[in-house]
Amino acid sequence: MTINRRRAPSSKVSSDKKLGGHQREGDYATLIGGKVINGTQKGDVKDKIGNLHSVKSGKKWQVFLYGYERICESRYLNILRPCLDAFPKDFNQYVKDRTKCISFKEGYVKNHGKDATRRLSNEVVIKQLGANAYVESKNQLAKTTISTCSALKNKDFLHKFLDEALFNSGEVEFLAIKDDTYKKDGLFKIFAREDVLDILSSELFPSISIAGRVPEDYNVAGQKTLLCYMKTPVRAKNIVEIEIRNDSRIHYRQVRFNMYSEDTLSLLIDRAQPLPIKYFHENVVVYGKATLLLKNLLEYK
């Protein structure tokens, strides 16, 4: 039996995204008179006076994909270590028990239908399976994401956590976003690190994901840590999704940090609007404190 619950993009999609990212970085570097930095570090482009810029585009960004050692060595991201520890070190045991669990659920769907399977309680599944590393990992992860959320409720800690995630704790000074999703004008929009962190840490609050609805899987809430904002007075929307990647031997016990571009731009632009806005180029707009920090580099129109 082949069980495919793939959540990661295919290798072709990943390759296309990388090529698109290289093109985006090259275009931005040309516009500001900088140079592209090759590699997997946070800084994508270095400007003429040595500032590092992180360049993003597209609907959803993968801000980082870190393994166990990197998370453990991090100063603030290490609060995610218990999320990784929820999963067994032995990948083979994880896959074996995952197959056992999903095979049981698929058999139940075949015999009783999807609606009946959705109504099947997790307690019944646990009783039927007995000791199962896949199920135990999901249940433990649900506990650790609650603890992670508790830590991220502290605004000062959230500020430092985001700084390490987005800017490698001050190594990168600017976030440049090509707007394909919010205003959809295709302009590069530059924000200073300080503005980004102040706005996001002020507006975001932690939450956890709800339980999935896939009848063939073991569904439990809290498999992702979310950072949300109030999109309307009565509706919260997540900007950040932090999840554990376990889809292959290579990508096992890794933390993936994703952000949604449209929501991020909306929040940054709406909050930065009262601050100075400068047009450096017909394709480059500079917001807030970045207008002052880059005034000796960029000749504004």
129: which DSSP letter?
Answer: H
Q: How many CB atoms lie within 10 A of CB 206?
A: 22
Distance CA 123, CA 103 (A): 17
* Paired tokens of 250: 């290579």
Task: Give the residue-averaged pLDDT of 23-35.
Answer: 95
18 pLDDT exceeds 90?
no
The region that residue 184 occupies, defined by phi over 0 for left and psi between -120 and 50 for alpha, beta otherwise, is left
* Burial of 93 from C-beta contacts in 10 A (0-12 / 13-18 / 19+): middle
Query: CA 95 from chain center: how many Å?
Result: 24
The structure's pTM equals: 0.91
User: What is the reported pLDDT for 17?
Assistant: 52
User: What is the reported pLDDT for 39?
Assistant: 78
Whether the Cβ atoms of residue 6 and residue 13 lie closer than 8 Å to each other: no
Distance CA 190, CA 44 (A): 13
Whether the Cβ atoms of residue 227 and residue 204 lie closer than 8 Å to each other: yes
Average pLDDT taken over every residue of the chain: 92
Q: What is the pLDDT of residues 186-217, one digit of tens each?
A: 999 999 999 999 999 999 999 999 999 999 99
What is the band of 298 on the pLDDT scale with cuts at 50, 70, 90? confident
Task: Give the residue-averaged pLDDT of 27-54.
Answer: 92
* Paired tokens of 24: 């985006």
Percent of the chain with pLDDT over 70: 91
Position with higher pLDDT, 105 vs 5 = 105
Distance CA 25, CA 213 (A): 38
Distance CA 83, CA 110 (A): 33
3-class SS of residue 144? helix
Distance CA 158, CA 205 (A): 9
Q: 12-26, 106-120, 145-159: which range is least confident on average?
A: 12-26
Percent of the chain with pLDDT over 90: 85
Domain residue extents for the chain: 60-171+193-263
User: What is the reported pLDDT for 16?
Assistant: 44
SS (H, E, C) 92-123: HHHHHHHHHHHHHHHHHHHHHCHHHHHHCCHH
